[in-house]
Amino acid sequence: MSRIPLPYSQKVIDLFRNPKNQGRMEKPTVTAVAGNPACGDMITFYMKINDQEIIEKITFESYGCAANIATASIVTEMIKGLILKDTWKELTWKKVAEEVGGLPSVKFHCGILAVGAVKRAIRKYYQQKGLIPSWIPQKLTFEEKQALEEEELAEKLSKK
């Protein structure tokens, strides 16, 4: 049985073939592993954050599909050099989907995973400092809820 190819944009295909900022980072300031319950795929972001709370360096490792690799790659380019507060406020999965030239609707969750993992990393950064700024809501955002931590994901999948 042959599979129907998904209508990926040329940009998704290019980034999937040649992702930017892919790989593990030595001594990151913060790292977040997150997985999507819709497919069970995982992603890890590594960030170096300076004293001015600017993302100096960001890399990722994806154990997901082409859409996830492409969206994670574009996310690293969109937020590198940004201050954490602006990243939090401006980064949405819809903007990410636009930046990669659109995503097939069955692949929206792959972009949501990339954004949710970044937001979990930012939240974790402040949790580690013991100082959560007022612009981070107490409740997890939609994207964070869709990007479960490793343990939560394992638990959810074990119940399927």
Least separation, in Å, of the C-beta of 155 and ligand FES? 18
Binding status of residue 59 toward ligand FES by CB under 6 A: no
Nearest to 29 by CA among 16, 51, 46, 41: 46
Rounded Cα gap, residues 77 and 138, in angstroms: 27
Which helix (H) or strand (E) is 126 found in, with range? Answer: helix 108-129
Is the distance from CB of 24 to CB of 33 less than 8 angstroms?
Answer: no
Least separation, in Å, of the C-beta of 23 and ligand FES? 18
Q: Footprint of ligand FES on residues 74-113 (CB under 6 A)?
A: 107, 110, 113
Identify the residue among 41, 61, 143, 144 touching ligand FES (CB under 6 A).
Answer: 41
Identify the residue among 47, 65, 147, 153 touching ligand FES (CB under 6 A).
Answer: 65
Least separation, in Å, of the C-beta of 107 and ligand FES? 6
Q: Footprint of ligand FES on residues 127-156 (CB under 6 A)?
A: none
Sorted by sequence, the CB contacts under 8 Å of residue 75 that are 6+ apart come out as: 58, 60, 91, 96, 114, 115, 118
Residue bearing tokens 């913060």: 30
Binding status of residue 35 toward ligand FES by CB under 6 A: no
Applying CB under 6 A, the residues found at the interface with ligand FES are 36, 39, 41, 64-65, 67-68, 107, 110, 113
